Amino acid sequence: MGSEEITSTPEGRTHFRELLAIGLVASVIGVVLGLVIDWFPTQASEEGERVDTLWDVLIIFSVPVFVLVIVVVLYCVWRYRMKPGEELKDGPPIHGNTKLEIVWTAIPAIILVALCSYAYVVLRDVEKADAAGVLDVEVVGQQFTWTFFYKDPAGKRIASPQLYVPRGRQVNFTVKSDDVIHDFWVPAFRLKIDAVPGISTHLRATPKTLGDYPVVCAELCGLGHAAMRQTAHVVEPAEFEQWLANGGRPPGEPGEAGEAGEDAGAPDGKALFADNGCGGCHALADAGTTGGTGPNLDEALADKDAAFIEESIVDPSAEIAEGFSDIMPPNFEQTLQPEELDALVKYLDEVAGR
Ligand code: CUA
């Protein structure tokens, strides 16, 4: 059936109207579904608003195109199918229609160029540096963890296993890798960027909603890739300053400053076990954890001494328990203060296997 025939015979015009009506109804349903369904997790950054709007606009333009193509294909398969008695009939010879072909090339080209331009403007806006008060955070990926580096008020470098950021202030993330390619992704911020060995990449985000959000590695980087998850804490600026002044420790916990109180001298090993996420991978009866990714500590550490426990924490690759993989984060020596490491070792030595 040539395209001219479609609109030049009464039957063809009826078919064309049917096609148009079905396509229109299906497009509206598709667009409404695309906009109504909540596809994404909580949105927690100002850049995220622009990204989500971009997504909505892409849905509005791309769903009708998709629906139109599918409707035409399905309609033609059904309407012009072979009927009994037509087995030996050849279809009508079809010639091109130059006018139609120009239209169906030009319209998609215009839509594509417009959407690309809009996406480019959004990207440029999202990457623009705020005039004042940008917070610099260095993010280092390694198999299989993230470490976040800050400068405390005295200019000293602080390493943290968790991401803390203040609400309402732009953060400039400088992203690096110590080994293979990882990808720093905070879904709630709607932004991600590769961590590539040998170079620094950058990403800017302005957190706007208080809360805890996952930090995910979005590049397959080895056996422990799926476990390469941490938490981004968006907190009030005052709380962030306190956290920073406290050496990257939640207020109330003894940090570098050591000013959290009289009895703050000895960190609490059990609290450290919980704060550092050990229970996510390790079962330990005393802490009530049941993680199965790493060895059960009640069994693995029952007859081990403090020196073995310490080595297992700071250099987990030195000895791998049978049946397990070398995927424990190797950055605890960086992120734990010496007295915290001592407290954690002491705690494990005391409770494991009891
Ligand atoms: Cu790091 Cu996947």
Average pLDDT, stretch 81-94?
82
Index of the ligand 1 atom closest to the CA of residue 182: 1
Distance 111 CA to ligand 1 centre (A): 36
Does the C-beta of 141 come closer than 6 Å to ligand 1?
Answer: yes
CA dihedral 328, 334, 340, 342 (to 10 degrees): 70
Index of the ligand 1 atom closest to the CA of residue 225: 2
Distance 89 CA to ligand 1 centre (A): 59
Residue of minimum CA distance from atom 1 in ligand 1: 182
- The pLDDT-based confidence of 18 (bands split at 50, 70, 90) is confident
As a whole number of angstroms, the distance between CA 316 and CA 331 comes to 10
Q: pLDDT tens digit string along 126-143?
A: 988 887 789 999 999 998
Q: pLDDT tens digit string along 20-64?
A: 898 889 999 999 998 998 889 999 999 999 999 999 999 999 888
3-state helix/strand/coil string of the chain? CCHHHHHHCHHHHHHHHHHHHHHHHHHHHHHHHHHHCCCCCCCCEHHHHHHHHHHHHHHHHHHHHHHHHHHHHHHHHHHCCCCCCCCCCCCCCCCCCHHHHHHHHHHHHHHHHHHHHHHHHHHHHHHCCCCCCCEEEEEEEECCEEEEEEECCCCCEEEECCEEEECCCCEEEEEEECCCCEEEEEHHHCEEEEECECCCEEEEECECCCEEEEEEECCCCCCCHHHCEEEEEEECHHHHHHHHHCCCCCCCCCCCCCCCCHHHHCCCHHHHHHHCCHHHCCEEHHHCEECCCCCCHHHHCCCCCHHHHHHHHHCCCCCCCCCCCCCCCCCHHHHCCHHHHHHHHHHHHHHCCC
Share of the chain above pLDDT 70, in %: 93
Index of the ligand 1 atom closest to the CA of residue 221: 2
Index of the ligand 1 atom closest to the CA of residue 180: 1
Q: pLDDT tens digit string along 299-313?
A: 888 888 888 888 888
Closest residue by Cα to residue 354 from 302, 289, 294, 288: 302
Index of the ligand 1 atom closest to the CA of residue 228: 1
* Cis amide leading into 148 (omega within 30): no
Q: pLDDT tens digit string along 272-297?
A: 888 777 887 888 988 888 888 888 99
| pLDDT > 80? residue 5 | no
Does the C-beta of 215 come closer than 6 Å to ligand 1?
Answer: no
Average pLDDT, stretch 70-79?
88
Per-residue pLDDT, 263:
47
**Does the predicted TM-score (pTM) go above 0.95?**
no
Average pLDDT, stretch 227-237?
91
Phi, psi of 25 (to 5 degrees): -60, -45
Distance 227 CA to ligand 1 centre (A): 8
Distance 58 CA to ligand 1 centre (A): 29
Distance 84 CA to ligand 1 centre (A): 59
Average pLDDT, stretch 214-224?
92
Distance 176 CA to ligand 1 centre (A): 12
Index of the ligand 1 atom closest to the CA of residue 144: 1
Per-residue pLDDT, 1:
44
Per-residue pLDDT, 261:
43
Does the C-beta of 228 come closer than 6 Å to ligand 1?
Answer: yes
